[in-house]
Every structure is written in structure tokens, then in C-alpha cells.
Structure 1
Amino acid sequence: MRRSIAVAVVVLISITSPGQSADLVENLQANTAPAGPHYFPLIKGRAAVDSGDTLWFPQMGITVRLDGIEACLLPQWAFDPTASQELTRPAPVPCGALARAWLKRVVDNSVVHCTPSRYLAAGERSARCFARGRDLALEMLRVGWARTIGPQDFEYLAAERYARSARYGLWGTYVLDMAEWRKNAIDQTIGLRPIADWNLLAERKSEFTPPFGDWRNRPRNTDR
């Protein structure tokens, strides 16, 4: 069978132009690629940025989540305790929108190459993605607008540790764990107001950013 396919490829290539031949070989390779649970075809094209860790490839109708990281969800708010030490609530920070904006800046209008590792719910893929030779997940970790999740990559962990020590991005904010936010936020639309997330923080079960301690131990002005 394989010999027959190879003969057919040679015959077809001999009667096509060089450019057509390359396209033909690529298409045949894709169509005869090994099937199975561990094979995931590469994804390549221009992508829209849905959130700080999610891409949408409109030409293929594919949603891809960046492997190994998690960013604030788009409607989610964080709070900056350093900007309002004397107030009852820290200043709100749209961490979801800022994470998305940074990823859009990195991707820009370039072609994105993704190597999927597994399928997620609703047909989404989890993949390691690159644009202009830059690892998108790593770029998000470097600026602090994402954190590592799942199996730990050494380079990703190093980038996260640096961003955390420098208090970049979400590491300088007071923010609810993303999984807890997804579970407990009643309103998960873009119109969500910061006060809703502040109320969730008051009832939190987990915390992961350093400013939680900073806010609890903040100096309080008292009249003497």
C-alpha cells in the first residue's frame, strides 16, 4: 500500500510545477499522517487574541490555549494595594484586559505557529505557540500577566520567579485565584464591576500573590 502511494506521488509530481509539487506533497503527508491519540497536526496562521492565554484561529475555526500558563479571565479584576494605602479598597486593576492587551502586542499581525499537546473541553487545543520566534507563554510569564500551571517547565518557572520577585503584572496586585473566580463569580460578563470581585476577595479560600500580606499589614493613619 505504501509503495503504491509513493509511486502515485512520483507520477503526480512529475506532471506538476515545482510549486504545485510542494503543495501536493504537503497535503498528502497531512492526509496520510498517523492517526491516534498522540498525533496532533500543527496549527499555523494569523490568530486573534481572545484572552491573556487563549488564541482563536478564524481560518480554521480553532481555539488554542497556551500550554503551561493561566492568565486572569477577561472580565476579572485585580486590585493594587500600593496605589491606595489610605482607602478602604485598593485601586482596581483590569488584569484580564491588561493580559489580553499584552498578548495582542506580542502577537501583533504575525503568523503564529502552535504545536498542540492535547485536546481540551469543547474542542479546544492546548499548545505551545510562537510568533516571530518568541514563545508566547514565556513572554506572558516574563511580564507577570500569567502564572504557571500544570507540569512545570524550567524556563517558565524561572520567568515566573523573576516576575514575582519584581512584582510585575498580577504579582503586584491583590487578586483571586482564577479557578476560584470561575467557580464563584456570578457575573462573568465584560460589564462586571470591580466591587463584585472585591466582595469575592473578602470571602476567598485561596490566595497566591504577595500583596495579600502587604495589604493586611499596611500602615493605617490614625488621628492623635
Structure 2
Amino acid sequence: MKRYLAATAVLTAIILPATAADLVGNPDATRRRQGDAPAHAYPVYKGRVAVMDGRTLWYPQFPQRVRLADIDACELPQWALDPKWLDRRRQQAPSPVPCGPLAKSWLKRTIGNKPVECSVIAYGHDGIPQARCTTSGQDIAVEMLRVGWARVASPYSYNTQYLAYQRYAMAARYGMWATYVLDMNEWRRKAVDKTLGRQPIADANLLADRESEISPPFIDARRKPRRTDR
């Protein structure tokens, strides 16, 4: 009987994923156990977080960065603007919008001081965990998509719920969908100055020679009737 109980304990330790309670007690020990666990056994983090940008959270108690899975948002120094913003004769062109800081502020507003639970589902190329994160029963990524300060990470996303919220924000011209934004991946690849002192003219120059941007779906959204339910 003792041998059976010992064997059961060993199997349980191997099969069960790490929990938030495990991580609070001894994060290093948990990471060592994860090395012996199956590939599908990802950790779960729970507690209060600091918001680093529009898609990244920081758990100071572990310490650990976590990135919201399947969505993308502007980097902190990134600006959103109309490509013809420099033409002063176009009075209707919207003013530059600091889409990175606004995405971060919306994420902070959504979370507040509430605890956040993040279930890791994968790891990025940079080793940062990508997770589904909830607070007060709400999917945080959904909230970011709903207000228009995030987009689905891939145009071929299989997540129909995320795509539906993005289409809603586009049609309502919420957030970054009210202007033009260089594709985030292209911005990360081309932007030389990535400091917080970056000026809108830098992104206007990038938009002038763009390969891709978030504006094509915005153009499609403009063809739809203006919403009257907001």
C-alpha cells in the first residue's frame, strides 16, 4: 500500500501543471519541475500585475513577464496618424495619436488593482510566455479588442470570438481604427528610434514607404454605415 501511494504521488507531480500557489511558494522549484513535465504542462500565474505595454503584464512576485496570446498592440513609442497628416490643407485629417501609450492606459484601466490569472498556452520566440489572461471573469484580450486598442495577431486567426470583437471595433471606428497605423511587425522591424521621445513625423515617414499597415481594414470599415448604437 505504501508503495502504491508513493507511486501515485510521483505520477501526480509529473502530470499536474504548476499552479499559482506553487509559484508563490517557490518559483525556482516549480521551474525545475516543469523541466520534467510533459510539453503540455504549462504554468498558471495569478496575482496583481503591473502593465508594461498594451499586451504585456509583469508579475513582480514571481518575477515573470506574460504576454497576451493571439493579439498585438502598438509599441509604446508608436504613433497612429493619417498618411496625409503633413498636408496642412487637409483639415479633415485626424491628428497624430500615441497609440502605444493609449493601449497601455486602456489595459491598466481594465485591470486596475484586480488580481489577474494567466494560463500559459505557449512560449514566444523570445521565451516570454503567451497566455490567456482573465480578471473578474473577463478575457483581457477581448476587452482590448473591443475598444480598438489591439488587433488579432494574425489575419489567419482561428479565434472567431476575437475576430468578431475586432470587426465590431473596426465598424465603430474605435481606438486605432479611427486613424492609420503601420503594421506593428513592420514598425518593430523598421523603426530606428524606439525611445519614448519619438515624434509623429518619424512614423509619418515610415507610412510614406509602407509595405503593410492597419489601414486596409479601416478603409473597408469606412464603407459600412455609421453605427448609431453608441
TM-score band, normalised by shorter chain: 0.7 to 0.9
Counterpart-to-counterpart distance in 2, 1:32 and 1:5: 17
Structure 2 matches for 1:171-190, cutoff 5 A?
171-190=177-196
Task: Give 1:76's aligned amino acid.
Answer: Q
Q: CA deviation at 1:105?
A: 0.2
User: Residue deviations 1:81-100, cap 9 Å, x none?
Assistant: 89977259741100000000
Q: TM (normalized to structure 1)? A: 0.78
User: Quick check: which has more Rg, 1 or 2?
Assistant: 1
Once structures 1 and 2 are overlaid, which stretch shifts more, 83-92 or 104-113?
83-92
Structure 2 matches for 1:133-144, cutoff 5 A?
133-144=137-148
Does 2:174 align with 1:168? Answer: yes
User: Residue deviations 1:146-191, cap 9 Å, x none?
Assistant: 0012432111111001101111111111110000000000001111
Q: TM (normalized to structure 2)? A: 0.76
Gaps of 5+ in 1: 8-22, 215-224
Structure 2 matches for 1:1-224, cutoff 5 A?
3-4=5-6, 35-79=37-81, 86-87=90-91, 90-150=94-154, 151-210=157-216
Q: CA deviation at 1:37?
A: 1.6
1:147/1:114 CA distance change after superposition, 3 Å:
same
Counterpart-to-counterpart distance in 2, 1:85 and 1:140: 34
Counterpart-to-counterpart distance in 2, 1:81 and 1:60: 43
Counterpart-to-counterpart distance in 1, 2:73 and 2:170: 14
Counterpart-to-counterpart distance in 2, 1:177 and 1:162: 19
Determine helix, strand or coil for the equivalent of 2:215: coil
Q: CA deviation at 1:109?
A: 0.5
Match of 1:20 in 2: none
Counterpart-to-counterpart distance in 2, 1:102 and 1:177: 20
Q: CA deviation at 1:36?
A: 2.1
CA root-mean-square deviation = 3.2
Counterpart-to-counterpart distance in 1, 2:181 and 2:82: 9
User: Residue deviations 1:9-38, cap 9 Å, x none?
Assistant: xxxxxxxxxxxxxx89x97xx797870221
Counterpart-to-counterpart distance in 1, 2:44 and 2:162: 22
How many pairs were matched up? 198
Q: CA deviation at 1:119?
A: 1.3
Contact 1:80 1:172 (8 Å CA) reproduced: no
1:3/1:171 CA distance change after superposition, 3 Å:
same
Contact 1:77 1:94 (8 Å CA) reproduced: yes
Contact 2:83 2:204 (8 Å CA) reproduced: no
